[in-house]
Amino acid sequence: MDTEQLQHLKLAFAFDYARRIVNADGAESYEEFRMLGAAFPRPLLEQAGFLDEDGMIAHGFADHRDMAFQILPRKLAREEKVELLQLLWEACAIDDVEAEEIAVLTEAGERLGLDAADVTVLIAGFASA
């Protein structure tokens, strides 16, 4: 797997979980959408094939996301997994951090192959930084 393919998988993973975090508490704010737009600019998502010409999620996105779930836990170093979680933490911390958002963030860490206790320690570190 080349570097570009791996970057697309990381993007698919992060984009999927960031959207899930934003939606987790049921209260979507302007700040959350602004953060999503800054972290995942439309041209980047279009170039990766994740958005169609109407700006909607393309069918191919689900394939990349599912592949990311399978490959990233094996291919990424721990530091890269922590970087992805840090990005996702920023989605949580845009507004009041809710338990539902932490649950999604924890799931993301575990999906990356991190142990639940390790994810809890990482989240606590993000919160105190």
pLDDT tens string 68-100: 999 999 999 999 999 999 999 998 888 888 899
pLDDT of residue 43: 93
pLDDT of residue 87: 93
pLDDT of residue 94: 85
Q: Which residues of the chain have pLDDT under 50?
A: none
Q: Where are the alpha helices (DSSP H) in the chain?
A: 3-24, 30-39, 42-47, 59-75, 78-92, 99-111, 116-128
Helix axes 3-24, 99-111, angle to 10 degrees: 160
User: Which CATH number goes with the domain that contains 22?
Assistant: 1.10.3680
pTM: 0.93
Task: Tell me which residue range forms the domain holding 19.
Answer: 3-128
Main-chain phi, psi angles of 109, to 5 degrees: -60, -45
How many folded domains does the chain comprise? 1
State the Cα–Cα distance between residues 60 and 77, nearest whole angstrom: 26
